[in-house]
Amino acid sequence: MNILLVEDDDKTARFVETAFRYVGYSVFRAADGLAGLEAARTERFDAAILDVMLPKLDGISLLKQLRSEGQTLPVIVLSALDSVEHKIRGLESGGDDYLAKPFSVSELIARVQSLLRRASRSIEDAMTLTVGDLVMDLKSRKVFRGGERIELQPLEFQLLEYLVRNRGRVISKTGIMEHVWEYDFDPGTNVVESRVCRLREKIDKGRERKLIHTVRGFGYVVEER
């Protein structure tokens, strides 16, 4: 599991990172709100731990921005402000849970695990993914565009599913390598480019609205344009 930690206090960040890595989680730390927003937009995380008092962009503004962009990433809000009003504000801004500082790291881990279980059940329940007139039936492993069946190889289906699950987010070539192939390639190879090109031929060729787009220098994004 890959966790995004947005925390400006070095001592707290090291404490949380050490604890989560001990139980087998990977942790990426951003030290300010803008860095956290960029990380959430460009990389795939299973959950986020978000401090409220952050430099450059406060945690509540960061959370609202993510939700306005359609991000469904499970988020636990951390704050030294533990009044009922502040908790309500954090939850109404899009937080899935709220934990006041100082906190028990074992409780934080338990809460993250609970969020991940809920998110996993939600994914299992959602057996169909859609974007525009594209429909992916995850149970039958069939893909349709405008009602027309599109034949995909297993790896192409997996690549498309990863992009559609992250619709609206720019996914880097490295991210695709790690999450679709599950291991790294030589950065000099064009395996990702060639696979995306073939997938685009099947999904977009001859259609007025394109769904798979290249963001030069960054990666790929699925969205209606």
In tens, the pLDDT along 170-194 reads: 998 888 887 776 555 455 567 888 8
Q: Tell me, what's the pLDDT at 214?
A: 94
**Nearest residue to 5 via CA among 82, 112, 87:** 112
| Dihedral angle sign, alpha carbons of residues 121, 124, 128, 134 | positive
Instruction: Say how many C-beta atoms besides its own lie within 10 A of residue 166's C-beta.
Output: 19
Question: 2 φ, ψ to 5°?
Answer: -115, 120
Degrees, nearest 5: CA angle 218-124-28 = 40
Q: Tell me, what's the pLDDT at 183?
A: 54
Q: How far apart are CA 143 and CA 83, in angstroms?
A: 48
Q: Tell me, what's the pLDDT at 127?
A: 79
Q: Tell me, what's the pLDDT at 207?
A: 92
User: 85, 54 in Cβ contact below 8 A?
Assistant: no
DSSP-assigned letter for residue 198: H
Buried b (16+ CB within 10 A) or exposed e, 36-51: bbebbbbbbbbbbbbb
Q: Tell me, what's the pLDDT at 73?
A: 86
Residues with pLDDT less than 50, the chain: 185
pTM of the entire structure?
A: 0.55
Q: Tell me, what's the pLDDT at 39?
A: 94
Compute the radius of gyration of the chain from its Cα atoms.
19
Sheet holding 2-6, edge to edge: 26-30, 2-6, 47-51, 75-79, 97-100
Q: Tell me, what's the pLDDT at 17?
A: 93
User: 60, 89 in Cβ contact below 8 A?
Assistant: yes
